[in-house]
Amino acid sequence: MSLHARTVCRAAARLAVAVLILGGLTSCSPERKGITGLTVDAAGRPLAALAWCSDRPPDIVSLFTVREATSPTPSGRPTPWPMWPGEKYTVPRAATSPTTVPLESFPPGSGADPDVAYAMYGVADDNSFTTHRVDFRVGELTDLAAGSVLVTEIVEGEEVQVTLSLEEFAHRGENEC
């Protein structure tokens, strides 16, 4: 085989590998088809709120700690970074949009630090779609009323927290598609 033929083969092989890698990276990103929020029931217990425009509900709600969050720490001190592995909560298969999912055993520990930042979102088991996540702190649960939903949205390029009515939350979920 001539030097030119080997060079062409190598270039073609590199191009094929690059296309496969690029295709693999882009195909793993789930499409966003909903919104996640935080609400409370009448007794003040935390609930994940989900609204979606997909033909089926997300399969799970994933809740975890984050290093940085949209909301500032109430005390002004640096955000602590606890070692909490997070939780996954199952969304009922028959759920209709909007729905809520109880966050059993949350917050972790009896004396939960109000400055710890959390994030939560819904996702399909097959990674076909996800919902826009919400960032929050445990201390913000006290400001929520049953029927209101805390969400994280983008305003002028910045993430901010907004409290919506359940009706507005459902409407925003429908508009994600």
* pLDDT-wise least confident of 32-36, 54-58, 138-142: 138-142
With a cut of 80, say whether residue 52 has pLDDT above it: yes
From 146, 152, 142, select the one nearest 172 (Cα to Cα): 152
Q: What whole-number distance in Å separates Cα of residue 161 and Cα of residue 151? A: 6
Tell me if 53 is assigned to some domain.
yes
Asked if the structure places residue 24 within a domain, the reply is no
Distances (CA, A) of 98 to 16, 27, 36, 60, 132: 44, 28, 10, 14, 14
Query: Looking at the whole model, is its pTM more than 0.85?
Result: no
Tokens of 48: 């994940």
The pLDDT score that the predictor gives to residue 24 is 46
Assess if residue 93 is contained within a domain.
yes
* Identity at 135, one-letter amino acid code: D
* % the chain with pLDDT above 70: 72
Total domains in the chain come to 1
Of the candidates 97, 51, 76, 59, which has an alpha carbon nearest to the alpha carbon of residue 139?
A: 76
Looking at per-residue confidence, does 71 or 97 come out higher?
A: 97
Structural element, H or E, at residue 17: helix 3-27
Say what the alpha-carbon torsion angle 99, 104, 108, 113 is, to the nearest 10 degrees: 50
Q: How far apart are CA 135 and CA 140, in angstroms?
A: 10
Domain boundaries, position 161: 32-71+82-175
Q: Evaluate whether residue 4 is within a structural domain.
A: no
Res. 41 pLDDT band, cuts 50 70 90: very high
Is 10 domain-assigned?
Answer: no
If phi > 0 it is left, if psi is from -120 to 50 it is alpha, else beta; for residue 156 that is left
Whether 42 is in a domain gets the answer yes
